[in-house]
Structure 1
Amino acid sequence: MSDASDYELSMLVRALVMESNRFLDIFSASHSLHPTDMTALNLIMTARFPMTPGALAKALNMSASATTSVLDRLERAGHVVRDRSPEDRRRVELRVLSAATAVASAFFQPLAVEFSSAWSSLSAADREVVARFLAATTSATTRVLDAVSDPASAHEE
């Protein structure tokens, strides 16, 4: 591949996002999950710390009442529970149930296998470049999302 322009890289990232979204749509539909529910479930599953309903509402850019509706649906479907924090009983934490994790793992395993196959010819140095590229691209996306979701903060510098 010749040197890729910013536009070409942007189009490749866009194509990856579109294909990933199609994959998620299939998973969501096969498990009767609304796309917002799927997004919420993914946020809860991938959070570095126990997610709270308030943090989820902020991440989804939704009101507390709309987030409660999402959590109610996820709870009824057997995907998520709301537990009291062992450190602070006033704090509610969201936890994905192991059955939901197992279903997701089974569905996404073929994609993980295909990724591994696609990446098998990459050297360690190539993988490091790809990892830096993906991290930088994700950070750039997050910065723009933050500015779009909170336009006042974009003018505070």
Structure 2
Amino acid sequence: MQSEMEIVHLLRAVAVELGLHSARFAQQNGMHTTDVRALIALMDARRAGERMSAGRLGAGLGLNSAGTTALLDRLERAGHVRRVRAESDRRKVVVEVTDDAVDLGASFFGPLIERSVELLRGYDDHQRAAVRDFLDGVREAATESGHTPAPGTSPRES
């Protein structure tokens, strides 16, 4: 049990350091930490080839409509995002991260990403799969703990 708790505590320490790293980026670039989380979500969607609506972005960040609008207004004024009409339905608006924002993020987070990739190269396929499964499981557990299950149901049922 001790070694499991050591790993859990290490994961918590990593999460704190990553949060501080993101906060430094936000501060250096005149952003709120929520702005950084929004840019990350938009970059992840872009990498996955997905379109992101303002509503979907806001829901993913836990923001209401007014908060999402204020966030997007800030990011758009800073040149980090643009709102564009969806090609499939011109009534819908999607949010896109700009290339300048991607470059800004890469210049700050790139060394950390490169070091992480370098560390992973030291593991074989089986070990990387174990790390991936563990992190996926922790992410899933964190997501589930953020949702309150209906009375009389377990977290898996909700």
TM-score of the aligned structures, taking structure 1 as reference length:
0.87
Q: Which residue is equivalent to 1:143?
A: 144
Pick which of 46-55 and 87-96 moved more: 46-55
- In the alignment, does 2:95 pair up with 1:97? no
Q: Secondary structure at the match of 1:93?
A: strand
Q: Which residue is equivalent to 2:85?
A: 84
* CA RMSD across the alignment: 1.8
Q: Where do 5+ consecutive residues of structure 2 fail to align? A: none
Q: Which residue is equivalent to 2:75?
A: 74
- Which amino acid counterpart does residue 41 of structure 2 have in structure 1? L
Q: Secondary structure at the match of 2:3?
A: coil
Structure-to-structure mapping, 1:57-68, within 5 angstroms: 57-68=58-69
Shift of 1:39: 1.3
Distance, in Å, in 1 between the alignment partners of 2:39 and 2:128 is 28
Shift of 1:8: 2.2
Identity of matched residues, %: 33
Per-residue CA deviations over 1:48-105 (Å, capped at 9, x if unaligned) read: 4211111122112121011100000000000000111000011110000011101111
Shift of 1:40: 1.4
Q: Where do 5+ consecutive residues of structure 1 fail to align? A: none
Q: Structure 1 residues 29, 116: CA separation in 2 closer, same or farther (over 3 Å shift)? A: same
Q: Which residue is equivalent to 2:25?
A: 27
